[in-house]
Amino acid sequence: MTNLRSRLHGLWLPLVTPFHDGELDDASLRRLVRHYAALPVNGMILTATTGEGLTLAPQETARLVAIVRDELTSSGKDLPVCLGLSGSDTRALLDTLRRTAAWPIDGYLISCPYYSRPTQDGMIRHFRALADQAAHPVLIYNIPYRTGVNLGNEAMLQLADHHNIVGLKDCCADRAQFIELLRRRPARFAVLTGEDAQTWDALADGADGAILASAHIETGAFASVVKLLAAGDRDGALIHWRTISDLTKLLFSEPSPAPIKYWLWRTGLIDSPELRLPMTEVSSELAARLDRDIAARTSATAPAPAGAHCQ
């Protein structure tokens, strides 16, 4: 496994979990991993929100992780892989950490406890307890519009000093909070944005990278935005961002990952757009919009016919 702390930058992909007839679709999963292993992706997150992790049985999660690692090894791609975890029972999550300690992963992405809405002190104690026992480094996932509670900067900075807490996926939706954290964070505590539509702002503000569901599509353009902004080339990055900024809105116009799965199915990367309840497939209206965008982007990137030349 890799030194995760040194790899928390660039573009990370929160991989979808393909299903077919109610079961984990191993063949489509292998196809996905081979596809993205050949693209400029810096890491993968498995079984988090985009991966519908809450719908997976423990044995399915274990099989998914094994398949992903096997395909990455076969592809010769040394990509770090983090396992997404969530829950509001600290003891249950500690059991999960013990059960997955020997899995071929590089770290965990653990969301704030949902529904129970603990205090800031409760979340500090929760994450410290997990990080104390975790066999792999921990990234915190702060997404208050899903969990119902925001991990504030004072609490975050206390957790950032823990030797086994290495970074944050930030979806706090508060730019002032985000900028303050970037200013005050300790060295080697990575901050990656997870807000697809606000990627440009977050990277321009100083984020180390991005974990973006939208990057399943136009992966190279997203990677170029991240890389060029990190290098200080705002003009070059803006050229790429203008080609994908509307895509981030389209792919979240209905609950994710349904639009992404539809796109991947229509372009042949997965065999079905299936999701598990309570998530449902895209509406017919959105399907038509996605089909139009797929056709337009396919046409824009298609090679010129043989014999074509400029006049």
- Residues with active-site annotation: 141, 169
Residue 274's alpha-carbon distances to 17, 18, 35, 266, 282, in angstroms, are 10, 7, 20, 12, 10
Angle at 72 between CA 197 and CA 207, to 5 degrees: 30
Q: Is 147 labeled as ligand-binding? A: no
Residue 46's alpha-carbon distances to 81, 106, 109, 286, in angstroms, are 7, 11, 9, 26
How far from the centroid of its chain's Cα atoms is residue 231's Cα? 22
108 and 140 in contact (C-beta within 8 Å)? Answer: no
Q: Is 47 labeled as ligand-binding? A: no
Give the pair of three-digit tokens for residue 49.
């929100």
The Cα 87–Cα 129 span in angstroms is 14
What stretches of the chain adopt beta strand conformation (E)?
A: 10-14, 19-20, 23-24, 43-46, 81-85, 107-111, 138-142, 165-170, 190-193, 209-211
Q: Are strands 138-142 and 165-170 parallel, antiparallel or unpaired?
A: parallel
Give the pair of three-digit tokens for residue 193.
């944005």
β-strand partners of 136: none
Q: Which of 216, 170, 224 is nearest to 50 (CA)?
A: 216
Q: Angle at which helices 234-250 and 219-230 pack, to 10 degrees?
A: 140
Q: Is 103 exposed, middle or buried (0-12, 13-18, 19+ CB in 10 A)?
A: middle
How far from the centroid of its chain's Cα atoms is residue 193's Cα? 9
Q: Which residues are annotated as a binding site for pyruvate?
A: 50, 211
